[in-house]
Amino acid sequence: MSQKVSGVKGMNDLLPGDVEVWQHVERTARDIFSRFGYGEVRTPIVEDTALFVRSVGEETDIVGKEMYTFDDKGGRSLSLRPEGTAPAARAYIEHSVGNQEPLTRWFYMGPMFRYERMKTGRYRQFHQIGAEAYGSKEPAQDVEVMDMVVQLLRQLGLSDVSLNINSLGDDACRPVYQARLVEHLRGHASELCADCQKRLERNPLRVLDCKNERCQQIAGAAPNILESLCEPCRAHFDEVKRKLDALEIKYVVNPRIMRGLDYYTRTTFEFIAAHPVLGTASTVGGGGRYDKLVKSLGGPDVPAVGFGLGLDRLCLLLKESGQHFGRPTDLFIAVADEGSADVAFTLASRLRREGLRVEFDTRGGSLKSQMKRADKVGAIFALVIGEAERQSGQAQLKPMAGGEPMPVRLDELANTLRTRLTPA
C-alpha cells in the first residue's frame, strides 16, 4: 500500500467554499486601489537572497531565522520572498521606472513565505495584499496609503479594526532615541530573553517587537520615541495626524509601533483587529515610510511609503462576519430519462455561452438524486427534461426556494432566466 502524501505543514489548500471569500477580497482591493490610481505589479516568488539581507536587515528574525533559503543548481543563494516591498523596489530599480513615472503607485497580491511558529492567521505560506508609492516625501502620501486601507476595510464591512500610528524618526534623531533606549534596556539586560540580549547589542529597536511577556513589560517602560523626534520629523508626523483628521479617519498614536523590518523611517502604522478569531495575531496589516530603501538597493534617491495586509487574516474575519460570497448557480438541468441527456447537455452549454451559471450532472442517475444535487449546489431554479419536453420544446421552470413552477419555452430559456434573476 502506497504512503499518503500530505501537504507541507503551514502551507494550506484553498478549496471551493473558502476561495470565494478570497476572490471577493481580491476583487474589492483591485477596485479600491484602481480608484486611487495604483497599478498592479507581479514579481517572482523567488529572489536573490541578498535583496532581503540588504533591505529587511541581516539582524532581523526574518533573515536570521525565518527565510526559506537554498542554493540553486548554479550555486546562487535564492530565497522565497518573505515580504513584498523589497521585490517591488528591486523591480522599480531594475526597470528604471522612476525615469518614466516620477510618481509611481503600485499594488500587489500573492504568497509570501516565512518559517515561523504557526498560529491562527499566521502560516508559513501566507498571502499579502500590498501597495507601494514611490516619489513623494509628503505626509499626504503617507495618509493616502492609509486611506486606501481604511476604504478597503469599510467596503469589506470590517469595522472593528483600529489604526495605530507612530513615527520612527530618521537618521538625524533616531540615534538619539536609540541611545536612550539602550541605556534603559541595559539596566534590565539579565531579564531579557536570549534573543533580545543579542538584539540589545545588534539592533535594540527590535526588542520593542519581542512577544516575550517580560520583554514587553521592559519595553513598555522604555523611553517614548516621539519625545526624541527632531523638528522636521515632528512636523511631518503632526501633518500626518492633521490630514488623517481632515479625512475623519480615526487613529491611535502608539509609540510602541515599530514594525519588524529595518527599512522603515518616520511614519509607521498598523491596523489591529479586536476579533477573538485571530487570537494574539491581531495585526491584519501595517506599513510605513521607507525613504532610504530604494537608494540602499542601488537605485535613485527616491522616497517611498507602502503597506502590506494579511489576506489570510482578512478572510478569517470575513468568514466570521456571516457574509455570503460567490454567485449562486442560476439553473440546474436534470434529465428524466437517458434519451434526454444529449438535449440537456447541449442546452446547458448554450446557456453557459449566454453568461448563465448552469449545473448539469454528467453522471445522470435517478431524478431524485439529481434534484438533491440541485439543492446542494444552491441552484435558484431547476428544470427537468424528458421525452415530453424534447417533443414539445417546453418545460417547467421550478423555483428551488419554493413556489409554483412556470412554463417556459426552451428556445427562450436564457431570456426568461435573465428576467427572473434580475431584482425588481
pLDDT in tens, 317-333: 998 887 778 788 999 99
In a domain, 77, yes or no: yes
Asked whether residue 40 falls in the same domain as residue 146, the answer is yes
Q: Which domain holds residue 164?
A: 19-173+229-320
SS3 310: strand
**Does residue 244 share a domain with residue 126?**
yes
- Supply the pTM of this predicted model: 0.88
Residue range 128-183, pLDDT digits in tens? 999 999 999 999 999 999 999 999 999 999 988 999 999 999 989 988 888 888 88
Residue 364 inside a domain? The answer is yes
How far apart (Å, rounded) are the C-alpha atoms in residues 255 and 221? 12
On whether both 124 and 264 belong to a single domain, the answer is: yes
If asked whether residues 314 and 336 sit together in one domain, one would say: no
Mean pLDDT of 283-301: 94
386 CB neighbour count, 10 Å cutoff: 17
Please list, in sequence order, all residues whose beta carbon lies within 8 angstroms of the beta carbon of residue 205, skipping any fewer than 6 positions away.
Answer: 168, 178, 181, 258
The dihedral formed by the CA atoms of 155, 158, 160 and 161, expressed in degrees to the nearest 10: -80
Residues facing residue 288 across a β-bridge: 268, 306
**Please, is 3 exposed, middle or buried when counting C-beta atoms within 10 Å of its C-beta (0-12, 13-18, 19+)?**
exposed
| Structural domain count of the chain | 2
Where do we find the cell 507602502? 306
Spell out the residues 6+ positions from residue 263 whose beta carbon is closer than 8 angstroms to its own. Answer: 55, 56, 57, 85, 86, 290, 292, 293, 296
Q: Which residue type, as a one-letter code, is found at position 106?
A: W
Give the pLDDT score at 219.
82
Give me the pLDDT at residue 280, please.
62
Among residues 299, 320, 341, the one where a domain terminates is: 320
Let me know if 217 is exposed, middle or buried by CB neighbors in 10 A (0-12, 13-18, 19+): exposed
Kindly state whether residues 95 and 116 are assigned to the same domain: yes
Q: What is the pLDDT of residue 197?
A: 82
**Bridge partners of residue 133, in order along the sequence:** 105, 305
Cell 446557456 found at: 351
Residue 109 and residue 311 in contact, taking contact as beta carbons nearer than 8 Å: yes
- How wide is the angle at C-alpha 385 spanned by C-alphas 384 and 390, nearest 5°? 155
What are the angstrom distances between the C-alpha of 102 and each of 22, 25, 406?
33, 30, 61
Let me know whether 36 and 158 are in one domain: yes
pLDDT higher than 70, residue 8 = yes
